[in-house]
């Protein structure tokens, strides 16, 4: 499978969630077995020799591929959830969104200083959610942080929001 074939499977929805937006709907790629396999294999190939011990999936679409990659890497999976969704003690990070403030959390015992972390989400747009996830993980003083996306919307410059010093890898670019 090629990047162009994957792009042909990802559905584009005009004017969602509001007028003027071209929404890249990955559900069509997730329900295609070849495409889902391609995502897992490409990410595994990129990260297999980097010593990743934990793969974090950002709620909610990051939960789909992150556990697949964690399994292939022999790493643990850690969910990054929205506020109030995790049952035990958490560490939180709040961030600005277009229409207010949001908060993400992970369990206090999810990571240690010995971990090499890959944070995964489905799509990089403006980068706000991923920057919050990076800041959250930095509170654990982990050894290394890697960032992965299935899709990156280059025109929105989200990569610049994440700042320097982080390895960002995206499979498909628009």
Catalytic residues: 61, 98
What distances in angstroms separate CA 32 from CA 4, 6, 25, 156, 162, one per listed residue? 15, 10, 13, 27, 30
- Kindly provide the b/e burial profile for residues 58-67, where b requires at least 16 CB atoms within 10 angstroms of the residue's own CB: bbebbbbbbb
> DSSP characters for 9-44?
HSEEEET-SSTT-EEEETHHHHT-HHHHHHHHHHHH
Q: Which residues contact 63 (CB under 8 A, 6 or more apart)?
A: 57, 79
Q: Is it true that the peptide bond before 17 is cis, omega within 30 degrees of 0?
A: yes
Which residues face 79 on adjacent strands? Answer: 57
Q: The tokens 């005009």 sit on which residue?
A: 14
């Amino acid at each position: 499978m090629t990047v162009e074939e994957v792009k042909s499977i990802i559905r584009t929805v005009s004017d969602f969630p509001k007028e003027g937006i071209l929404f890249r709907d990955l559900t069509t790629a997730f329900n295609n077995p070849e495409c889902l396999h391609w995502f897992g294999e490409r990410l595994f190939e990129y990260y297999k020799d980097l010593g990743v011990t934990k793969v974090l999936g950002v709620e909610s679409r990051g939960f789909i591929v992150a556990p697949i990659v964690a399994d292939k890497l022999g790493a643990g999976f850690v969910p990054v959830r929205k506020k109030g969704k995790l049952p035990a003690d958490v560490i939180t990070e709040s961030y600005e969104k277009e229409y207010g403030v949001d908060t993400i959390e992970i369990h206090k015992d999810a990571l240690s200083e010995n971990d090499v972390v890959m944070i995964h989400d489905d799509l990089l747009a403006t980068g706000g959610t991923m920057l919050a996830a990076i800041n959250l993980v930095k509170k654990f003083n982990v050894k290394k942080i890697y960032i992965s996306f299935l899709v990156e919307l280059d025109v929105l410059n989200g990569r610049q929001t994440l700042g320097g010093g982080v390895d960002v890898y995206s499979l498909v670019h628009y």
